[in-house]
Structure 1
Amino acid sequence: MTISKLSTFEKIQPFFILAGIVIGLVLSYLPQVSQHGGKVILPALMLMLYNIFLQLPLQRLKAGFANLKVTGLSLTVNFILTPLIAFGMGYLFLKNSPDLWVGYFMLMLTPCTDWYLVFTGMARGDVGLGLSLLPWNLLLQLALLPIYLAIFAGSIVPLETMDLVRSVVFVFILPFSLAYLTRYIVTETKGMEFLEEKGLVRISSSQFIFLMVAIIGMFASQGRGVLANPLIMGQLLAPVLFFFVIIYLLAQFIGKIFKFTYPETACFTCTIAARNSPIALAIAVTAFPEQPLIALVLVIGPLIELPVLFIITKLLLKKAPA
């Protein structure tokens, strides 16, 4: 796959997610599956995060300093302005549904760590610059997500501090440590070229498989609750769309004020627009075990987000130089 376009597999990923949801809902009517389906969610998510951390190019952290203007502004929007916008949108549209509000907040709080690069390429943006932002986005959300949840989500629904700490240690530190150790051993014994050309290709595909297992397990264990709340998608539609409109306009305004080139503007827009890190899903499962709607929002969200990102790409291309 070239980074400038979606592969066939990536194009149909949303349909796989939708199929996983349907399969999970059907399985929820089998008592044995419904009772034990939830047990596969956390292991699957941890394996997925292990794969993500294994692909994290920490050596690219320094590359982010090559363009301080775009790097600094994208991190400012992602980790200062976006939490405020997301909390405000949740208050306006979802204040009467606390679980949906928290799920929506977590959905919008965490920057995407994968397909924003694909959309950057599709929009003819600076993919190299986007790649240099990836480790910063991932590491900062690892550090700040627990803090934002304690401050914002804790004001909406009950949140036990020890549950949050336990979630961070178990969900973040364990997979990250194992991934770092694996990367070190493989590069020392086989070399970096082996890891990047052979190992990471297989890992990338298995990452989506583990996500699918988690989605099926989630809907198998909570399917009846979802079917009892069929209007979830409709409730999320307005705040999600308003969020993306605000972010898109903000990106164009900042790009104009700071005189970004078109490739920088396209990269900046896709970086601050793409959402829904799997990290948020893993935290939702462990920190809010008695509120499954929070995690379900994070699974349903991409079904709205992906079409919006395609539209944003088309809007950007209209401004691209000939």
Structure 2
Amino acid sequence: MSLAERLQGLLVAAAALVGLGTGLALPIGPAAEHAVLPALLVMLTAVFVQMDAAHVGEVRRAKTLVATSLVLNFVFTPALAWALGAGLLGGEPDLRIGLLLLLVTPCTDWYLVFTAMARGHTGIAAALLPVNLVLQLVLLPVYVLLLGGQAAMVDAATLAESVLLVLVVPLALAMVLRWASARFKGAAWRQRYVMGPASLLVLPLLYVAVLAMFAWQARTVLEHGTELLALLVPLAIFFVLLPLIATGLSRLLRLTAAHRVTLTMTTTARNSPIALAIAVAAFPDRPLIAVALVVGPLLELPVLALIAQLVRTRRPTPKAALPL
């Protein structure tokens, strides 16, 4: 794990603070507004271009792990997100939608890093990426409309258009780029000149988007700072409860140590960049929803780093040679 990845939580917080200070000191809000969505769209294209659908076949070798992760991610977690929002954020509809958007989108990028750190099964983890992406693409509008209730206040057509813009367009561009670069230049050229640079772009573009969003909504953050602190309790409950449930189910189902790590990471890590992009596109007149989504990774990334150490599998100790 690179130094930049280890410091990601701090750098997200720094980008937010720089954006907040700049937005309060200078009248750059309108200009910053136009930078948020393009930065997120390019970032998601860079994320998707690194995804290899060839790994999907590996999910057949771990049916119990895959089935359990899908139930936790797409049945249990949405129900928990609704319960946490209704129980702890009942008077804050924008925070409820922000929490819902964050929790119902399983991670499709950085959880691989933490899975590798904890010595999980990275092959199966990679195979789950396109599966999780397609399912959240299809189910996200359903979750928002059904579980968001009156707090959502958005029609199905607007939400579908936003998902199409934020997920389908970058995904289609990434697939075309992967195919064309390999078809006309070869796999080695694609790895060196497409996937390599794309991996280096993701984090800087995320920081640019966060900085621009806070510069754009500096006044909103200042006015609602106390309300944003209310998100810490439901997020803390989620990031404690999910690893415990995943670990308990892993032991109950007698999964191997590597599969147990993989299940814990894929059900705990959330996809805040995608959730943020959808919030910006679907709720442009409700900026508190997007601002709320930045709180998630500030708590999530240190938690994932800690979990990776707690569930880290031990390498088998080589047996000593018997004396002759």
Which TM class, normalised by the smaller chain length?
A: over 0.9
Q: Is the 8 A contact 1:107 1:297 kept in 2?
A: no
Displacement after TM superposition at 1:157 (Å): 2.9
1:218 matched to which residue of 2? 213
- C-alpha distance in 2 between matches for 1:194 and 1:208: 23
Give the alignment partner of residue 87 of structure 2, picking from 77, 92, 95: 92
User: Deviations for 1:113-151, whole angstroms, at most 9, x for unmatched residues?
Assistant: 122111112222222221121111112111211221121
Partner residue in 2 for 1:130: 125
| 1:7-86 superposed matches below 5 A | 7-30=2-25, 32-86=27-81
Question: What residue is the counterpart of 1:158 in the other structure?
Answer: 153
Backbone CA RMSD of aligned residues? 1.8
Structure 1 portions without partners, runs of 5+ = 1-5
Displacement of 1:69:
1.0
Work out whether 1:240 is the aligned partner of 2:232.
Answer: no
1:186 aligns with 2:181: yes
Give the structure-2-normalised TM-score: 0.92
Q: Taking structure 1 as reference, are residues 321 and 257 closer, same or farther at Cα in structure 2, changes over 3 Å only?
A: farther
In the alignment, what sits opposite 2:321?
none
Q: What CA distance in whole angstroms lies between the structure 2 residues aligned with 1:170 and 1:247?
A: 30
What corresponds to 2:194 in structure 1? Answer: 199
Show the counterpart of 2:249.
254
Matching of residues 99-118 of structure 1 within 5 Å: 99-118=94-113
TM-score between the two structures when normalised by the length of structure 1: 0.93
Does the alignment pair 1:286 with 2:243? Answer: no
The 1:178–1:226 alpha-carbon spacing in structure 2 relative to 1, beyond 3 Å, is same
Q: Secondary structure at the match of 2:24?
A: coil
- Structure 2 CA distance for aligned equivalents of residues 250 and 295 of structure 1: 28
Q: Which amino acid aligns with 2:117?
A: M
For 1:101 and 1:321, the matched residues in 2 are separated by: 45
**Match of 1:3?**
none
Which 4+ runs in 1 deviate beyond 4 A? Answer: 318-322
- 275, 287, 301: which one pairs with 2:296? 301
CA contact (8 A) 2:145 2:152 kept: no
Q: Over alpha carbons, which structure has the higher Rg?
A: 2
2:315 and 2:100 mapped to 1: Cα distance? 32
Q: Which amino acid aligns with 1:175?
A: P
Counterpart-to-counterpart distance in 2, 1:193 and 1:117 = 22
Count of matched residue pairs: 317
Structure 2 residue matching 1:101: 3-state secondary structure: helix
Between stretches 264-273 and 127-136, larger displacement belongs to: 127-136
Tell me, yes or no, if the aligned pair for 1:276 and 1:301 is still in contact at 8 Å.
no
Deviation at 1:205, TM superposition (A): 1.2
Deviation at 1:262, TM superposition (A): 1.0
The structural deviation recorded for 1:232 is 4.0
